[in-house]
Amino acid sequence: MKMVKSLILGSAAALVAVGGAQAADLPVKAKAVEYVKVCSLYGPGFYYIPGTDTCIKLGGYVKSEIVINTNSDHTGNTSGAGAANNRFTNGYTWRSREDLNIDTRTATEYGVVRTFFDATFSWTTDTYAGQGNGATVYSPIGTVAAPNNAGSGNVAAGTVGVYYAFIQFAGFTMGKAVSQFSAPWANYPGNTFDGLVGGGGTITGVNQFTYTAQFGNGVSLSLSAQDQTQYYQAGIFNLGAPINIGPPGALGIVGASDYAGTIAPDLVAMLRVDQAWGLFQASFAAHDNHAAYYGATELTGHPDDKWGWAGQLALSIKNIPTGPGDTINVNGVYTNGATRYNIQDLAGSAGANTIYGGTNVPGAYQSIGFGFAPDSVFVTGGSQQLITTYGVRGAYVHNWNPYWNTSIYGAWAQVNYTSTAKSYICGPGGTGVGGTFGILLGAGSNLTSCNPDYSIAQIGTQTQWTPVKNLTFTGDLTYTHLDQKFAGTVAFPGSAALGKPATIYELKNQNTLTMMLKVQRNW
């Protein structure tokens, strides 16, 4: 009986096991896999984010560039060690960079909601600086502040930059984007050199709140409020403060910077006509100059605010007879108390030029050229004196064939001080005596002209070779001329960081030359 029972139970167990195995082998309905789908609504490169109705596009580039005869990758050699023209001037500055951008778009009943983000990861060589005792230090890891990309030379470090981060919805742009004042080519009418004067910039974006109305046939109007700090403050020089002179770190030959806290954003209006033949744009900006105090405390008082302004016209002509894709881009600008809309944030050391050169004047050690362009200057008890500038920039781009193109480009800007401002700086007789520039007039000085007005002119050429799609090799040569109005000789305090002694220097116009060699792969 026990044997029979055992056989029955064993058989049942075997049947259960076999049934389970057979059930496991039966076909079952697999869970649906959400494959990435192409989104054709917004052009090539967009895909739907799985499980959503939002489209996304990833893009960017990798580039490596060498800039010859400067210590700055972008502004050129018009200040600091790059303009010293001695053993502290780099023969080259080298940068490698990865750019990553993320573009998302979602269709809604109110129109497309777009977000855009762009960041860069850079490694840039820096510069050595003197310590005043015969020793030097590499600026990012030593005790001297880096004049270019602080920290970028640290081993396995580098820098991260946020270029753009904005939302667009129902005609509004909110976040960090290129200023609406700037022409579509911003700093690059036909070049890759960042430091051209003569127009609006912010190629790395500025915080803004903008509304753009589209009227059809390529006509649009943008009204914008944008942050003025970092990008659009050229300096409010307090001539009553101690003179701040002697690069690096110098803010000017006339006084120390004296900003108060932020009180009003810049207000921008831009009208654009974009057609098959090209583009026309008119831009206007209002800029509030908000100074702090005459002295160290509130009891010393302060000058009233003064609003400056800037106007710019831009023109692009396409399909010209010289060849397919050839283009002419040009823009002109005028500013009064809003200097950065002409001498943009990357141009010519942003209006703080101090360039050294040779001399033939007996008794002079070397020559030096100054060019400073703040928004305004003031003296204790006085009102702000706004600085006027005007300038142009432009380029002609010719395509030799689908693989080669060459451009010729140029820029020019003029900086003018009011007669009252000049009297503050150069004294009532225009000799420096009794003015803030007089602090330089030590023993041996012989000033024959005291005038803070100056101009800066630039001309260059660029050639690009694109052997395969999205891979471009570039050579870019830029010449810069500083035409300053000071003349004679001056007892300059020198700069230990640049190895410049405190002695007699000739005041003289200066010239500089830089070259950029670059390879870039877009993806």
The set of residues, in sequence order, having a beta carbon less than 8 Å from that of 83 and lying 6+ positions away, is 77, 89, 247, 349, 353, 354, 355, 356, 510, 512
On whether residue 384 sits in a domain, the answer given is yes
CATH number at 411 reads 2.40.160
On whether residue 338 sits in a domain, the answer given is yes
On whether residue 24 sits in a domain, the answer given is no
Which among 344, 333, 474, 340 is positioned nearest to 74, based on CA atoms?
Answer: 344
On whether residue 201 sits in a domain, the answer given is yes
- Token pair, residue 221, equals 């109007």
Question: What's the pLDDT score for residue 14?
Answer: 43
Question: What's the pLDDT score for residue 149?
Answer: 41
If you write DSSP's letter for every residue of 205-216 in order, what string do you get? Answer: -EEEEEEEEEEE
Per the structure, how many domains does the chain have?
A: 1
**Enclosing H/E stretch for 8:** helix 2-25
Which among 369, 366, 387, 372 is positioned nearest to 487, based on CA atoms?
Answer: 369
Question: Which residue range forms the structural domain that includes residue 80?
Answer: 67-93+187-522
Question: What's the pLDDT score for residue 11?
Answer: 44
CA 276/CA 267 separation, integer angstroms: 30
If you write DSSP's letter for every residue of 18-48 in order, what string do you get? Answer: HHHHHHHHS--PPPPP----B--TT-TT-EE
Alpha carbon separation from 20 to 13, 285, 460 (Å, rounded): 11, 79, 81
- Assign 3-class secondary structure to 465-484: EEEECCEEEEEEEEEEEEEE
Q: Identify any residues that bridge with 99 across adjacent strands, giving them in sequence order.
A: 61, 120
- Token pair, residue 10, equals 């064993």
- Token pair, residue 343, equals 């001498």
End-to-end distance of the chain based on CA atoms, in angstroms? 81
On whether residue 332 sits in a domain, the answer given is yes
CA angle at residue 79 from 75 to 82, to 5 degrees?
80
Question: What's the pLDDT score for residue 310?
Answer: 98
On whether residue 420 sits in a domain, the answer given is yes
Tens digit of each residue's pLDDT, the chain (523 residues): 444 444 443 444 443 344 444 444 555 565 555 678 999 999 999 999 999 999 999 999 999 999 999 998 888 899 888 999 999 999 999 999 999 999 999 999 999 999 999 999 999 888 888 888 999 888 754 433 444 444 444 555 688 999 999 999 999 999 999 999 999 999 999 999 999 999 988 999 999 999 999 999 999 999 999 999 989 999 999 988 755 454 433 445 667 889 999 999 999 999 999 999 999 999 999 999 999 999 999 999 999 999 999 999 999 999 899 999 999 999 999 999 999 999 998 886 666 888 999 999 999 999 999 899 999 999 999 999 999 999 999 999 999 999 999 999 999 999 999 999 999 999 888 888 888 887 767 777 888 999 999 999 999 999 999 999 999 999 999 999 999 999 999 888 888 889 999 999 999 999 999 999 999 999 9
**SS3 assignment, position 139:** helix
> 31-45 b/e with 16+ CB inside 10 Å = b?
eeeeeeeebeebeee
On whether residue 272 sits in a domain, the answer given is yes
On whether residue 132 sits in a domain, the answer given is no
**SS3 assignment, position 299:** helix
The set of residues, in sequence order, having a beta carbon less than 8 Å from that of 510 and lying 6+ positions away, is 83, 355, 356, 357, 367, 368, 369, 481, 482, 484
Regarding beta strands 503-507 and 366-372, do their DSSP bridges make them parallel or antiparallel, or are they unpaired?
Answer: parallel
The set of residues, in sequence order, having a beta carbon less than 8 Å from that of 64 and lying 6+ positions away, is 94, 95, 96, 97, 518, 519
Alpha carbon separation from 42 to 91, 107, 323, 429, 518 (Å, rounded): 45, 10, 30, 65, 31
Token pair 């007089």 is found at 438
Q: Is residue 151 within 8 Å of 161, Cβ to Cβ?
A: no
C-alpha atoms less than 13 angstroms from C-alpha of 137 in its C-beta half-sphere: 14
